[in-house]
Amino acid sequence: MAAIAREDFETARRLFSEIFYGVSGKHADPGMAGSLLYHMAMVTKMETETRLLLNELRLPQPDVAADLLRFTEDFVSDMYELAKASVPLNFDPHDVAAKAGLSSEEKIDLFTKLNKETKTLEAMLASKQAEVCKHLEGLFSNWARHVAEMRLRQEYETIKGFLITVALAKAVGTRRLKDAMVKFKKGSVKKPCASL
């Protein structure tokens, strides 16, 4: 915004690109787009691994809700504390727990919508329209909110997977659990295509 105010649109475009699309090279950073895509993929990975392990063991999902909520609340508290100076976050850990994960189509739609908004502002910068400043904070906040929500969902699924694994180890023993995990790693567990 400072670069736009002094009509240095070349610097503004470079910074815009770095923030939203990242930079490569010695100081690589994925930017908002790369961060969102990464966390979306990790959510899917964590959900799938837990589901495949339960399928391999032919066991229902253990009830880990109380511990899961406690750990999720701790993570949310840390997120608030770290982000409060730059991006206001308003998450309810109970909502994260109750909310179903996004389908692949919903993830694609979300990313496409954010990317379209970003390309629109990028075009305004390219044509040196100073009124782009009115929209920059909103775009940044929108990306940041979705990245943070997806990161929270990733953490939720990761913690859930760990807690379920601990419960499974107690239920079937570490030997059977390890055997199931080895099968999973070697790819001998049949993966349901529809869910992947």
- Give pLDDT tens digits for 90-113: 767 677 767 788 888 999 999 999
> Residue 196 — very low, low, confident or very high, per pLDDT cuts 50/70/90?
very low
Would you state the pLDDT for residue 194?
Answer: 41
Question: Does residue 4 sit within a domain?
Answer: no
Would you state the pLDDT for residue 188?
Answer: 54
Q: Using CA atoms, how far apart are residues 173 and 104, in angstroms rounded to an integer?
A: 34
Q: Which residues contact 69 (CB under 8 A, 6 or more apart)?
A: 93, 94, 97
Whether the per-residue pLDDT at 190 is higher than 70: the answer is: no
Question: Does residue 1 sit within a domain?
Answer: no
CA distances from 107 to 64, 95, 127 (A): 27, 18, 30
Q: pLDDT tens digit string along 111-145?
A: 999 999 999 999 999 999 989 999 999 999 899 98
Structural domain tally of the chain?
A: 1
Q: What integer best gives the mean pLDDT of the chain?
A: 87
* Among candidate residues 170, 174, 152, 155, the one with its CA nearest the CA of residue 63: 170
Question: Does residue 84 sit within a domain?
Answer: yes
By residue range, what is the domain housing residue 137?
34-195
* Among candidate residues 146, 31, 148, the one with its CA nearest the CA of residue 78: 148
Q: Residue 23: beta bridge partners?
A: 29
Give the mean model confidence (pLDDT) for residues 13-35. 88
Question: Does residue 123 sit within a domain?
Answer: yes
Instruction: Indicate the residue type of 182.
Output: V
Q: Using CA atoms, how far apart are residues 144 and 33, in angstroms rounded to an integer?
A: 10
